[in-house]
Structure 1
Amino acid sequence: MYVHFAEEDNTTYYLALHQMTDNPFHLLEDHSKDSSILNLASGILSDEQFYIIFLFIFFTSQLINICAIIANILSIAVFVKLGFLEPSNISLITLALCDFTLAVLFTWNNLCIWLTYHNVRLPFHGENVTFLTGGAQSAFLSCTVAWITAFISFERCLCILVPLKVRRLITPRGTSLAMLIIILLTFCPSFSIYIRYKFVWVFNQYLNITILNTIPDNSEFAILFEKISIVIFGVTKPFLAFSIVLICTMLLVVQLRKISSWRMSVTSAKTQPVVIEQNPAASSSAVEVRISQKEERLVRMVVAIASVFIVSYIPTCILLLCYVVFDDFNQFGVYKRLFIVSGYIVSLGQPIGGSVNILIYYKMASKFRSVFRRLVRLDRQEQERRELE
């Protein structure tokens, strides 16, 4: 960071106007564009319409984010108590950690934007600084969540299709390494945004204060680097992860139906009870059936998690397509107001998914349910209630 005095800088003058005006959405207007285009953009969403939508989405989003934070804290605590001997626990706790961080980033983004729009004097430019300290990171972290979900789905797919070969590879150490690689390749590139945008201290002569702001690096290298990063990390990788989750989920559903049909045929074919103690072959078969039933429950849980992810991530895919197709549909373009509203609506999906996952774990994983009940003392409360009765 460095100090930048810009008494005649357009940004400083622009900030001063924003602080002095009664219109909290003055910051959303881009005065560098043609006025006719601005009128067209303003006609899509008026100040009153935008404000009503913003209020509703803000409070709804904050409530969902708080629920997601609490739910993922509980999930992390349960998985820690379960231990990391099971590879699935490692991937699921990593997913919970990412969902928790994502909810925190969304909460920070919402709070800063809310204070900025209500003319609260902050020591930084709320919108621009938030973009570099939470907005970009949350976008990349969404990609991390997508790839972790893709890994979980793909791993379950392989366990059903080629169980003997995969079980040698799916180990706690291998899963931990896979999680580390996914984070390095998806979330860490978010810091590349600082190549295009820099933090600066700007003196505002109208308010007589120095605030933290950002300026873009308009060099050819920085612009080209940003475009390549958006195409690779913002569009290609999320779509690829989404496709993997979708394909693997479809394969898992097909396999589950085959397993269910096979169980029904085996059950209907049984005409006499089998004494397991006197028949070692039957005992071995019973063990295989028991293991497959346990595996089936885990697969059903993964299908449920993947299904929630698919439903919550479809709006993000649509927004990414619009971001790529329409040049002015971004946080700095003419349709900035519409982009912000769309972004807020889309951002509701992922915290909802992070909140719902704990219900899936509780419903479908008996060990998780048992540890969770002990953690929140539900078993003790139920026992005390029975003793009172």
Structure 2
Amino acid sequence: DDLISDSLKDTILDVTYVSICGFLSVAGLVANTLNIIVFIRMGLNDAVNVSLLGLAVSDIFSMTFLLLESTCFNPLFQNVGLPFALMEVQFIVGGWPHICFTRVVSWITAFVTFERCVCIALPLKVKSIITATRAKVVVVMSFLLVAGSAAPEFYVNQFVWKFYPEKNVSLIGLHFIEDRDRFENVTFVLNNVLMQYLAFVAVIICTIILVVKLNEKTRWRSATARGDNTAAISVKDKKVVKMISFISAIFIASYLPSSILFMAMAIKRDFHPSGYFNIFHVTWSLAFMLEGINSTVNIFVYYKMSSKYHRMFHRTFLCRVLE
């Protein structure tokens, strides 16, 4: 038996999926559209701008499919007499595409952290190691690799006409092929456990290296510099540490719950829409809510902590030139 009753499930999903995720997805679409415009205007000859543009694009797609999921869970939309089982179909047309693009978000976030780590650890070599062209290749490959690794999931889960006795009607619903376990034993763990945890490890390691290197440079400059210049350098370094730590913390906090849920799905096969339907959707609605927050708040991080972004934002949308 499911651990959550139907009535409690409906109440929770109305709050999380329909209301909160619906709002966050719209806000995320607006925020990342602004991000894309700003980064394009800042120029794509800089590797960091290229990476952050790729991050904004993946967030746009992620929020688009989250909005689709939110709409599917809306009670008003469920009762319009559609010819398919909405809760089953949205799992593939909304849930999995959303997850694919959040995986791209994870890898681009790891690459952004790596970029800035190299910039601090090897300042004289960073321009030759990470170029705008290489950043573009990494961003494009992130999209292609995630799409390729997730493709078998769309083969395993297929749409067929099914009879639903409780409604006395035939609808298009979800059907799992006979060899589902054979496929998912490999592809599911590879795409949704290993790839996600590798991104976490990359972000954590690069962030630790970045913070250590910045602290070393701050102490060295404080010992060699004099007067007000010492304070200026220290404040500048601390801003970089704060920004990277902020991005890393938001990413880890937002994506760790979904990673844990994927691990649970890999270990316990009943944790699936075909098994524990109610608890599956309730827990995932909370995880998607956090992912929506991550995709929405980036604009505030850039605006507050990046002077270049701040100036270009004002110049583009407020017609003001800041010194």
TM-score (norm 1): 0.74
- Residue 249 of structure 2 is aligned to residue 307 of structure 1: yes
- Residue 33 of structure 2 is aligned to residue 73 of structure 1: yes
User: Cα distance, 1:49 vs. partner?
Assistant: 2.1
Map residues 186-335 of structure 1 onto 2, 5 A cutoff: 186-201=146-161, 211-218=171-178, 220=179, 222-267=180-225, 270=226, 300-333=242-275, 335=276
Amino acid corresponding to residue 302 of structure 1 in structure 2: I
Q: Give yes or no for contact 2:32–2:296 (8 Å, CA) kept in 1.
A: yes
Map residues 1-389 of structure 1 onto 2, 5 A cutoff: 38=1, 41=2, 44-57=3-16, 58-115=18-75, 118-201=78-161, 211-218=171-178, 220=179, 222-267=180-225, 270=226, 300-333=242-275, 335-377=276-318, 379=320
Q: Give yes or no for contact 1:298–1:365 (8 Å, CA) kept in 2.
A: no
Amino acid corresponding to residue 266 of structure 2 in structure 1: V
CA separation of 1:337 and 1:202: change in aligned 2, threshold 3 A:
closer
Q: Give yes or no for contact 2:13–2:73 (8 Å, CA) kept in 1.
A: no
Which blocks of at least 5 consecutive residues in structure 1 are unaligned?
Answer: 1-37, 275-285, 383-389
Q: Give yes or no for contact 1:54–1:341 (8 Å, CA) kept in 2.
A: yes
CA separation of 1:50 and 1:204: change in aligned 2, threshold 3 A:
closer
User: Cα distance, 1:324 vs. partner?
Assistant: 2.3
Which string of whole-angstrom CA distances, capped at 9 and with x for unpartnered residues, describes residues 14-37 of structure 1?
xxxxxxxxxxxxxxxxxxxxxxxx
Partner Cα distance (2:146, 2:241) in 1: 25
User: Cα distance, 1:76 vs. partner?
Assistant: 0.6
User: Cα distance, 1:201 vs. partner?
Assistant: 4.8
Partner Cα distance (1:192, 1:116) in 2: 33
SS, match of residue 175 in structure 2:
strand
SS, match of residue 212 in structure 1:
strand
Which string of whole-angstrom CA distances, capped at 9 and with x for unpartnered residues, describes residues 122-181 of structure 1?
132212221121211112222111111111111221222223333212111111111111
Partner Cα distance (1:149, 1:374) in 2: 27
Amino acid corresponding to residue 324 of structure 1 in structure 2: A
User: Cα distance, 1:342 vs. partner?
Assistant: 0.3
Q: Give yes or no for contact 2:214–2:237 (8 Å, CA) kept in 1.
A: no
Which string of whole-angstrom CA distances, capped at 9 and with x for unpartnered residues, describes residues 71-126 of structure 1?
11110111111110111000000001111111111110121132488433113221
Which string of whole-angstrom CA distances, capped at 9 and with x for unpartnered residues, describes residues 287-331 of structure 1?
xx98x9978755653332222111211212222222223232222
Partner Cα distance (1:50, 1:160) in 2: 48
CA separation of 1:205 and 1:338: change in aligned 2, threshold 3 A:
closer
CA separation of 1:310 and 1:378: change in aligned 2, threshold 3 A:
farther
Partner Cα distance (1:317, 1:215) in 2: 25
Q: Give yes or no for contact 1:152–1:302 (8 Å, CA) kept in 2.
A: no
Q: Which residue of 2 is the match for residue 4 of structure 1? A: none
Partner Cα distance (1:363, 1:169) in 2: 28
CA separation of 1:88 and 1:134: change in aligned 2, threshold 3 A:
same
**Quick check: 238-247 or 86-95, which moved more?**
238-247
SS, match of residue 164 in structure 1:
coil
- Segments of 4+ in structure 1 off by > 4 A? 115-118, 201-211, 292-300
**Quick check: 93-102 or 54-63, which moved more?**
54-63
Partner Cα distance (2:157, 2:200) in 1: 29
Partner Cα distance (2:157, 2:76) in 1: 20
Q: Give yes or no for contact 1:137–1:187 (8 Å, CA) kept in 2.
A: no
Count of residues paired in the alignment:
320
Partner Cα distance (1:189, 1:245) in 2: 21
Partner Cα distance (1:353, 1:206) in 2: 39
SS, match of residue 200 in structure 1:
strand
**Quick check: 134-143 or 185-194, which moved more?**
185-194
Amino acid corresponding to residue 89 of structure 2 in structure 1: V
CA separation of 1:172 and 1:255: change in aligned 2, threshold 3 A:
same
Which blocks of at least 5 consecutive residues in structure 2 are unaligned?
Answer: none
Q: Give yes or no for contact 2:4–2:279 (8 Å, CA) kept in 1.
A: yes
CA separation of 1:300 and 1:188: change in aligned 2, threshold 3 A:
farther
CA separation of 1:209 and 1:80: change in aligned 2, threshold 3 A:
farther
Amino acid corresponding to residue 319 of structure 1 in structure 2: L
